[in-house]
Structure 1
Amino acid sequence: MTEVLFYVFSAVLLIAGLMVITAKNPVHAALYLVLSFFTGAMLWMLMQAEFLAVSLVVVYVGAVMVLFLFVVMMLDINFEELRKGFWKFVPLASVVAAIMAVEMVLILTHPAAGLKAVTIAERAPDYNNVRDLGVQIYTTYFLPFQLAAFLLLVGMIAAIALTLRKRKNTKFQNPGQQVKVKRNDRLRIVKVDSEPKPTFEAPKPAAEGQGEGQA
């Protein structure tokens, strides 16, 4: 059953990744990317790496994708203009993707990589994958981990810088001027003279002759 689920989630992940790059609507592409993240988290769960699965959902789906959608909607990019040469570069992109896939398979299957499958029976009773992951990150892979964190920080700063560009007819507030404001700048007391109270005269009774003629 585990192998069946692995192939099902892998197929969904490949289809979702393909739809990310072929969807015309950027919001739809982002939703397909969310689906790929979820299926990737399920694959981590099958490998009993619960911490990585939860981190993938919380960090990427809950934070990165929200930031991505925010940037896409704020930049107002003409995606139809960008996709004009999409099919022109598909053959070259396919060759590059195939080469990268072959390289990853060769690296993961090479004996020098030191990667081997570990069953549940071979693990110690007090084994904790979170502790093992922390030891590997902050000892063996400390510099690559810091480099990845720096790249994410640069990407976040770039996204903020792009969204803060000035636009025509954009209303904004200056916090510095709001702090320096005084009472007299916002409030003005105007003294208005009171108007005289209007007087109403009682209607005069009509004359007796005029009343009979009207009747």
Structure 2
Amino acid sequence: MIQTLAFYLFAALVIASAVMVIMARNPVHSVLWLILAFFNAAGLMVLVGAEFIAALMVIVYVGAVAVLFLFVVMMLDIDFAELRAGFIKNFPLGIAIALVLLAELVLGIGAYQAGTLELGVPSGAAAPLLGDSNTASIGAILYRDYIFLFEGAGIILLVAMIGAIVLTHRKRPAGSRSQQDIGKQNRRNPKEATVMKQPQVGEGVEL
């Protein structure tokens, strides 16, 4: 009974949050509603026993992707009038795409119910380990059966990170104001750091 109530609660909050992501006028509010949807989706994953997927949703999607979206939206200078004008201009195209996706969804559900789809039968090789959690089972499969693919994906991500750093790194000339000289700052005489002036009335400021 408690599981059923929790499922309906999480599902209702996910649907409501997803609707508010689209309906919110402020992009920052949309991102905040998206974070709420991610948290409730993680709750649904916990209910079905996929705690590893729930942890990934909270750590990766909420902790990285959604926060990145939030900072990008807050840092960009968005013209809301132009944004609304573009939405109205592309509204017919959006409706057409939505109708195509709806037709594909209805066609897929109809084909599945007709029994024409032959789904594969699991071989049992990736079955969960007895007595272990969902996270331990996924870790055993990754580091036992797909260890080379997992390490290859890590190397690719490492190369991509290094490439991004190299492409965005800019060499600044020596002595530029953007570089700090820690030794020079430590050797600075406090008495010479500031100079007290007594300007006379009407003489202005000497630069």
So what's the TM-score if we normalise by structure 1?
0.56
Distance 1:184 1:53, change over 3 A: closer
- Give me the whole-angstrom Cα distance separating, in 2, the residues matched to 1:79 and 1:104: 38
1:129 counterpart (134, 157, 162): 134
CA contact (8 A) 2:46 2:54 kept: yes
Partner residue of 1:198? none
List gaps (5 residues or longer) in structure 2. Answer: 169-176, 195-207
1:98 counterpart (99, 102, 117): 102
Distance 1:25 1:97, change over 3 A: farther
List gaps (5 residues or longer) in structure 1. Answer: 116-121, 162-172, 191-215
How does 1:1-215 map onto structure 2 within 5 Å?
A: 1=1, 2-87=3-88, 88=91, 89-98=93-102, 101=105, 111-114=118-121, 125-137=130-142, 139=145, 142=149, 146=153, 150=157, 174=178, 176-179=179-182, 181=184, 183=187, 188=192
- Give me the whole-angstrom Cα distance separating, in 1, the residues matched to 2:193 and 2:82: 56
- Give me the whole-angstrom Cα distance separating, in 2, the residues matched to 1:15 and 1:104: 25
Give deviations 1:39-68, integer Å, cap 9, x for gaps. Answer: 101110110112221231233223322222
| SS of 1:112 mapped into structure 2 | coil
CA contact (8 A) 2:7 2:44 kept: yes
Give deviations 1:89-130, integer Å, cap 9, x for gaps. Answer: 4312422543575688679x9543547xxxxxx976413211
- Give me the whole-angstrom Cα distance separating, in 2, the residues matched to 1:94 and 1:57: 29
So what's the TM-score if we normalise by structure 2?
0.57
- How many residues are matched? 164
> Considering only aligned residues, what root-mean-square deviation do their CA atoms show, in Å?
4.3
* Structure 2 residue identity aligned to 1:19: M
| SS of 2:49 mapped into structure 1 | coil
Q: CA deviation at 1:31?
A: 1.1
- Give me the whole-angstrom Cα distance separating, in 1, the residues matched to 2:80 and 2:11: 29
